[in-house]
Chain A
Amino acid sequence: MEQHANTTNGHASVGVYICHCGTNIAGVVDVAAVSEYAATLPGVTVARDYKYMCSDPGQELIKQDIREHGLNRIVVAACSPHLHEKTFRTAAQAAGLNPYLVQMVNIREHDSWVHTDRAMATQKAKDLVRAAVRRVRLHLPLERKRVSIHPDVIVVGGGIAGIHAALTLADAGKHVYLIEREPTIGGHMAMFDKTFPTLDCAACILTPKMTAVKAHPNITLWTMSEVTQVDGYVGNFKVTVRHKPRYIIEDACIGCLECISACVFKEGRTPDEFNMGLGKRKPVYIPFPQAVPQLVVIDPDTCIEFKTGKCKKTCVEVCAERKAIDFQQKETVDTVEAGSIVMATGFQIFDAGRVPYYGYGAYPNVYTALEVERLVNASGPTGGEVVLRDGRKPQTVGVVHCVGSRDENTNRYCSRVCCMYSLKLAHLIKEHTGAEVYNCYIDMRTPGKAFEEFYCRIAEEGVNFIRGKVADIYPEEGGTGRLIMQVEDTLVNYIRKVPVDMVVLSVGLEARHDANDVRRRFNLSCTNEGFFLERHPKLAPVSTFTDGIFLAGCCQGPKDIPDTVAQAGAAAAECLSLIDRQFVEMEPNTAVVNEDECSACRTCVPMCPYSAIGVREDTKKAWVNEALCKGCGTCVAACPSGSIRQNLFEDEEILEEIEGVLA
């Protein structure tokens, strides 16, 4: 490609193009006058105005002029650079001119769309064009850097989102590390009984995917593992993973569960985390029978051997053949390289104790929805029997919607899934007990596919609906053991006091309590509520502001299983797009440190929102990682000695532009 003189050598040859943008600009700004004025500016060789500069003929104008007149700088006065900067840069490049020698002036959003006085708008356009012409003379021919992409992917979190993303990527032939903190993958979905709106058994649809993950040759499954450090940048991440000891030799254990029956504890004493504390487990346990990997785990906090060292170790006796139990197992650390990361760390439920007037924790028969899921589940602590704490079957049940959601006092947002799962639980409770169920709601939110039909089905089954938020729950007088739900039924206009045996609180979804620590480790932003922040809520819901890291599932915001799986697929697709492209081009508008002037005072280091600048140990000078730098200019402004400059926004360029406007 023929390159024209890319430096001015004192001879700038500027082409100025004023776009009419139909009547968007020409309707207010006198484009012909601006074009005539531009032609008089020093250094301007060609000045034209045209109806639509972004069109093919418009771009052709620029290319032709570069070839014929030997232009070495271009100014396009048109719409916002957000829209067409790339178009004009590409056009210049096609004609052999470095794309960064093009400057756009916004005389639409900044002029014709915000002013009505024609004379003043035209004068403003002239001022802006003059400033741009002065600035562009000082532009330097910058080059985009290429960064190669490592083909491996790390998926953080082994719930349904992580599982689906991992399988999609592995099926595409990429190697995936699936890192999960708990002893098994499956996440919250493994705890559910049935899923809405089809009432599919959650475990029946999840476990095939879980076993597929274990069996897939392209997936390295690490459970009991956490990411402790993330270094690097897009395409070149270096991640440190800490494996917590299971005290079981993974290759030796076959999941026969004999050690659990043989344990010196005759019955479980520790509240079972998987069953929400409703059941008990022993120190050696498997979270649930279909756990993947199919291995037991020993809890060092409750096992006698760890506390006193004097246990009979009947578990070891019973495992004499495989010798899978190893009390000496230690934590190990691995460092892996990957090109992209998918965050699928999931959610936690709202702590119902924060709403004291619903009596959670105070009255025994007030449950959260997740606890009821475990009660209703056939492999739960009561074998699928929905019973109260004293073993009785409830005859009336109240379901309270919007606990910890849509409330200034707890969480502002709507948690999206609670109306649907409240309907599902109403159906399941009615099925298991034949009880009279009362759903007390503010609005019934059933937007998804087949959701409204599900609502109609539940209504037809005879579930009672009371439109009103439950105001208070208190014990019934006379020692009946029942609780009164006091609520205004806004549709029939009565204040109702409904005596129920059991109350189910439909708790909302929240960001995990350690989401803030996790997101700092990965250099991500988060919202006010703690969910990870996506790059654009509409157009980039799986990307983040950190290139190469994508989001999937409830860690980005509350959502149901279909949306989670869709988002996981989208995140996998973004990773594949990166990997198959094989490189990423970095915009050159990065900060550059002048090492001669830098004194390593470190003022810039904590300022960078992208952790892109640091002080190198070997040179003892500040150094910008160009792959992470987004060109925000904070360090440039902060540097007390002015030793950092920014490509495309040099001091001289900015000052020339200011002088041009004020001239």
Chain B
Amino acid sequence: MEIRGYWRHMFQFRKMKFQREAVPEWPHKVKTLPGCENIFSCIQCGTCSGTCPLSIYMDFTPRRIMSLLREGFRKEALGSETIWLCASCYSCAVHCPQDIHITDVMYSLKREAIKENLYPKRFPIPVLAREFYEIVKRRGRSSEMWLVLRMAFRSNPFILLGMAKSGWALLRTGRLSFKSEGIRNPKDLQRELAVKREVA
């Protein structure tokens, strides 16, 4: 995002980074995650960003995420919109001359971002992921109406304005309802999920 004029000094991101803002052990930890074995082989050629159909919408291109990742800029990498905009088309992984599984890296970073609670809080995509998980955990089934409402109110409520017409049509024809669906024993599901979290 570019800010011009007077307000640039107020809101433009500082370009100087001090070494204390980087986390040197973090890239080594990420290297152990699935799919991230050879992140250190990246030669920064830019082929991934070049083929990525969504790179023009990202704040950091995939190549820059790889570089941030290797240098230990954890907050910036996990707080980026990039990893959430990834459409998993695998173009980057196929073209990469160092055979890095970039899509798998993106997935690992997504999991890290949610776990560390560093994801961009007002960005609809991670909010959707989180709300979906919460709804399913609570009741065992997804309720689309509530999913959309929760996602909108947690990120950007103005999305609802754009969706109002089709939303009303779905409600009217019975495709969406305010009823919350659920399984008989959600507690069993929650116990299962709790065990898995311990193991992880």
Q: Which listed segment binds B: A20-28, A283-291, A405-413? A: A405-413
Counting CB contacts under 8 A, is B12 at the interface? no
Q: Smallest Cβ distance from B81 to chain A, in angstroms?
A: 15
Contact A408 B61 (CB under 8 A): no
Residue B193, interface by CB 8 Å: no
B160 to chain A, nearest CB (A): 32
Instruction: Give which listed residue, A407, A443, A488, contacts B97 with CB less than 8 A.
Output: A407
Least Cβ–Cβ distance between A403 and chain B, in angstroms: 11
- Chain B residues positioned under 8 Å from A408 (CB to CB): 96-99
Q: Would you give the 0/1 interface string for A232-268, flagging 1 where the beta carbon is closer than 8 Å to chain B? A: 0000000000000000000000000000000000000
**B149 interfacial contact with A, CB 8 Å:** no
| A488 and B50 form a contact (CB under 8 A) | yes
Contacts of A402 in B (CB 8 A): 45, 97
Knowing A495-B55, A495-B56, say if A487 contacts B46 (CB, 8 Å): yes
* Contacts known (A487-B46, A488-B63, A490-B63); A471 close to B99, Cβ less than 8 A: no
Q: Which residues of B contact A469 (CB under 8 A)?
A: 45-47, 50, 97
Q: B50 contacts A442, CB within 8 Å?
A: no
Q: How far is the CA of A247 from the CA of B95 in the complex (A)?
A: 49
Known contacts A408-B98, A471-B95, A495-B55: A490-B44 contact under CB 8 Å:
yes
A470 and B98 contacting across the interface, CB-CB below 8 Å: no
In the assembled complex, A433 has its CB within 8 A of some CB on chain B: no
B43 interfacial contact with A, CB 8 Å: yes
> Per-position contact with B for A36-56: 1 when CB-CB < 8 Å, else 0?
000000000000000000000
Minimum CB–CB distance for B58 against chain A, Å:
10
Pair A442/B43 contact, Cβ less than 8 Å: yes
When each residue 442-471 of chain A gets 1 if its CB lies under 8 Å from chain B and 0 otherwise, what string results?
A: 110000000000000000000000011111
Kindly identify, within residues 49 to 68 of chain B, every residue whose CB is under 8 Å from any CB belonging to chain A.
49-51, 55-56, 61, 63-64
Nearest to B100 among chain A residues (CB) is: A408
> Contacts A488-B63, A490-B44, A495-B56 given: A470-B97 contact, CB under 8 Å?
no
Question: Are A490's CB and B97's CB within 8 A?
Answer: no
Could you say which residues of chain B place their CB within 8 Å of the CB of A443? 43
Query: Is the CB–CB distance between A495 and B97 below 8 Å?
Result: no
The answer to whether B95 and A468 touch across the interface, beta carbons within 8 angstroms, is: no
Across the interface, name the chain B residue whose C-beta is closest to A472.
B51
Chain A residues closer than 8 Å to B43, beta-carbon distance: 406, 442-443
A495 to B52, CA, bound (A): 10
Contacts of B49 in A (CB 8 A): 468, 471, 488, 490, 495
Note all chain A residues with C-beta closer than 8 A to B95: 357, 471
A468 to B97 Cα, complex, angstroms: 12
**For the complex, what is the distance from the CA of A443 to the CA of B61, rounded to whole Å?**
19
- The docked-state distance in angstroms from the alpha carbon of A407 to that of B99 is 8
Taken together as a complex, chains A and B put the C-alpha atoms of A379 and B48 apart, in Å, by 41
Q: Which residue of A lies closest to B94 (CB)?
A: A409
* Interface residue? A486 (CB, 8 A): yes
Contact of A488 among B61, B96, B98, B99 (CB under 8 A): B61
Task: Give the docked Cα–Cα distance between A409 and B100 (Å).
Answer: 11
- A457-511 contacts to B (CB < 8 Å): 467-472, 486-490, 493, 495
A561 CB, min distance to chain B CBs, angstroms: 27
Bound Cα distance from A493 to B58, whole angstroms: 12
- Residues in A whose Cβ lies below 8 Å from that of B56: 495
Nearest to B56 among chain A residues (CB) is A495
Tell which of A406, A487, A495 has the most Cβ of chain B within 10 Å. A495
Q: Which residues does chain B contribute within 8 Å of A489, judged by CB atoms?
A: 46
Q: A278 to B33, alpha carbons, bound, how many Å?
A: 51
B99 & A468 in contact (Cβ 8 Å cutoff): no
Q: How far is the CB of B117 from chain A (nearest CB, A)?
A: 28
With A469-B47, A471-B51, A488-B55 known as contacts, the answer to whether A406 contacts B97 (CB < 8 A) is: yes
Binary contact readout B89-109 vs A (1 if CB under 8 angstroms, 0 otherwise)? 000000111110000000000
69-114 of chain B: CB within 8 A of chain A? 95-99
Known contacts A408-B99, A495-B50, A442 near B55 by CB under 8 Å: no
In the complex, chain A residues whose CB is within 8 Å of the CB of B99? 408-409
Expressed in whole angstroms, the Cα–Cα distance for A545 and B98 within the complex equals 32
For the complex, give the distance between the alpha carbons of A490 and B99 in Å: 19
CA distance A486 to B47 in the complex (A): 9
**A contact residues around B44 at 8 Å (CB):** 442, 490
Q: Are A468 and B45 in contact (CB-based, < 8 A)?
A: yes
Cα-based distance from A487 to B98 in the complex (angstroms): 17
Q: Which residues from B are CB-within-8-Å of A468?
A: 45-47, 49-50
**Cα distance A467–B95 in the bound complex, in angstroms:** 17
> Complex Cα distance A615/B51, Å?
60
For the complex, give the distance between the alpha carbons of A123 and B97 in Å: 53
Determine the chain B residues whose CB is within 8 A of the CB of A472 once the complex forms.
50-51
Which of A442, A469, A489 has most B Cβ within 10 Å?
Answer: A469
Do A471 and B47 touch across chains, with their CB atoms under 8 A apart? Answer: yes
Q: How far is the CA of A493 from the CA of B44 in the complex (A)?
A: 12
Query: Measured between alpha carbons, how far is A154 from B82 in the docked complex, in Å?
Result: 61
CB distance from A468 to the nearest CB of B (A): 4
Q: How far does the alpha carbon of A584 sit from the alpha carbon of B63 in the complex, in Å?
A: 57
11 A-B residue pairings within 8 Å (CB atoms): A357-B95, A408-B97, A409-B97, A442-B44, A443-B43, A467-B46, A468-B47, A487-B50, A493-B64, A495-B49, A495-B50
Closest 3 CB pairs of A and B: A471-B50, A468-B46, A488-B46
Measured CB to CB, the residues of A under 8 A from B are 357, 402, 406-409, 442-443, 467-472, 486-490, 493, 495
10 new A-B pairs (CB below 8 Å) besides A443-B43, A469-B46? Answer: A402-B45, A406-B97, A442-B43, A468-B46, A470-B47, A470-B50, A471-B47, A471-B49, A486-B50, A489-B46
